[in-house]
Amino acid sequence: MVLVGRKKRSGEEGMQLQLGKYEIGKTLGEGNFGKVKYAKDVQTGHPFAVKILEKTRIKNLNFSDQIKREIATLKILKHPNVVRLHEVLASKTKIYMILEYVKGGELFETIASKGKLPESEGRKLFQQLIDGVSYCHDKGVYHRDLKLENVLVDTKGRIKISDFGLSALPQHLRDDGLLHTTCGSPNYVAPEILNNRGYDGAVSDTWSCGVILYVILTGYLPFDDRNLAVLYQKIFKGDVQMPKWLPLGAKNLIKRILDPNPETRITMAEVKVDEWFKQDYTPAITNDEEEDDVEIDEDVLSLHETPMDSERGPVSPTHINAFELIGMSSSLDLSGFFEKEDVSERKVRFTSTCSPRKLLEKIEDTASQMGLGVQKKNGKLKMLQDHKGQRKSFNLSVIAEVFEINTSLYVVELRKTSGECSVYRQLCDKVLKDLEVSPSQENLAAKLLEES
């Protein structure tokens, strides 16, 4: 167990957090599970970035496996274009990942501030990206969420691939030798991932690299639309609009990478021998012969779930991503999903920024006021109306469930599983009224895309 305390430094106002031999400073960024802060080794003065993860939040969102996967992945990767993990510490409430400090920021910020980059500069970044990603593939690691936000650029123009939370290892392959988890970011995802028939992680990563190259050289995304269904149609077609001023060599390479057919898409090895790619190319020197010096605190692994207290009720929502959200909407069209829906015969959904606990408590109160019995199980509420006081026969059975889109936006579903519709309509109308459901479709759709 690492000792964490606060240390007063002479000549400075305020307190500095002391984490073992590291002194923690300003916040560099924030994520779903905690913050990333600047850190310094007090003995050597060497800078680091420390990713501070809240164990409670990880457990509540059932993301323990994802965090362990990221740690296990970074532990084996030692490449100049991949963010290096140096140490993992833990307390009773937090996990501390001591990472390589990259002074410069995200590639996204670079493009947002400068716009498209000159051909030579863009090619240099892309060469480093391909070096880093192909190295990961050689190690059996598939990133699965490559995008501008997950590529850091230091002050000397060197890139560092980061955020391996959605990565996959050989043990995640099924018997068919393919991956089957639908994940990634909508604008960068390969079409075969959306087909739900299995995909090659290396081939889909290559597609994402092609999207990144396009943005680097043009300043905008090759596939973009606020409506996810329309966006995915564009991705399936793979019809990329190439600006006339884009260099011919770059155009040809991008077309070969953004081939919607994974069977004919160019491979990483083929990218490396492409004439445009090879210009002024110097392959990176890897550090595989270094000793495995990543130290991991045993308490990091103490992320076991505690059984739900049936009296306290469910407090944690099911986490869903944009792809699963599409599956919940009819005809793969989100255009009307975020509006307040009329109460149907079987199901109604609405969005809310209220906490899952508050949402479920309010629904439970409303159901109780209407004389419905309420059962709590597996993060859901089951509301029952008995028949003449006999619990064996029900006039109505309704399931209430909360799904998380991101840390501040939730979808609530009230689903009638059996019985008459009249009381179900009353329940839904009262819940919608009590919770004052009136979100703007356009604002919520934009928020979903932004967070995805």
| Per-residue pLDDT in tens (0 to 9) along the chain, 452 residues | 444 444 444 333 334 678 889 999 998 887 667 789 999 999 999 999 999 998 888 877 777 778 888 888 898 899 999 999 999 998 888 999 999 999 888 999 999 889 999 999 999 999 999 999 999 999 999 999 999 999 999 988 999 999 888 888 888 888 888 988 888 889 999 999 988 789 999 999 999 999 999 999 999 999 998 888 889 989 998 889 999 999 999 999 999 999 999 999 999 999 999 999 999 999 988 866 555 566 665 555 555 443 333 333 444 555 555 555 554 444 444 434 333 434 445 677 777 777 788 888 888 888 888 888 888 876 788 878 765 544 444 567 888 888 766 555 677 888 887 776 777 888 888 888 877 765 443 344 334 434 44
Q: Where are the beta strands (DSSP E) in 354-408?
A: 373-377, 380-387, 390-406
* Strands of the sheet with 22-30, listed across from one edge: 4-7, 16-19, 22-30, 34-41, 47-54, 94-100, 85-90, 295-296
What CA–CA distances, in Å, run from 278 to 130, 132, 242, 274? Answer: 12, 16, 21, 6
Using alpha carbons, select from 392, 356, 387, 357 the residue that is nearest to residue 372: 387
How high is the pLDDT of residue 68? 83
Question: How far is C-alpha 412 from the geometric centre of its chain's CA atoms?
Answer: 21
Distance CA 146, CA 404 (A): 23
How high is the pLDDT of residue 440? 42
Distance CA 346, CA 236 (A): 32
Domains and CATH numbers, the chain: 4-101 (3.30.200.20), 107-278 (1.10.510.10), 318-451 (3.30.310.80)
In one-letter notation, the amino acid at residue 193 is I
Close Cβ partners of 393 (under 8 Å, ≥ 6 residues apart):
386, 387
N-to-C CA span, the chain: 35
Q: Where are the beta strands (DSSP E) in 64-214?
A: 85-90, 94-100, 151-153, 159-161
Q: Which phi and psi (to 5°) does residue 152 adopt?
A: -95, 150
Using alpha carbons, select from 219, 224, 221 the residue that is nearest to residue 112: 219
How high is the pLDDT of residue 234? 92
Active site residues: 145
Q: Is 176 exposed, middle or buried (0-12, 13-18, 19+ CB in 10 A)?
A: exposed
Q: Which phi and psi (to 5°) does residue 223 adopt?
A: -130, 120
Close Cβ partners of 141 (under 8 Å, ≥ 6 residues apart):
73, 76, 77, 164, 167, 168, 169
How high is the pLDDT of residue 348? 79
How high is the pLDDT of residue 302? 59
- For helices 107-114 and 201-218, give the axis angle rounded to 10 degrees: 30
Distance CA 441, CA 404 (A): 17
Triad 205, 206, 210: Cα angle to 5°: 115
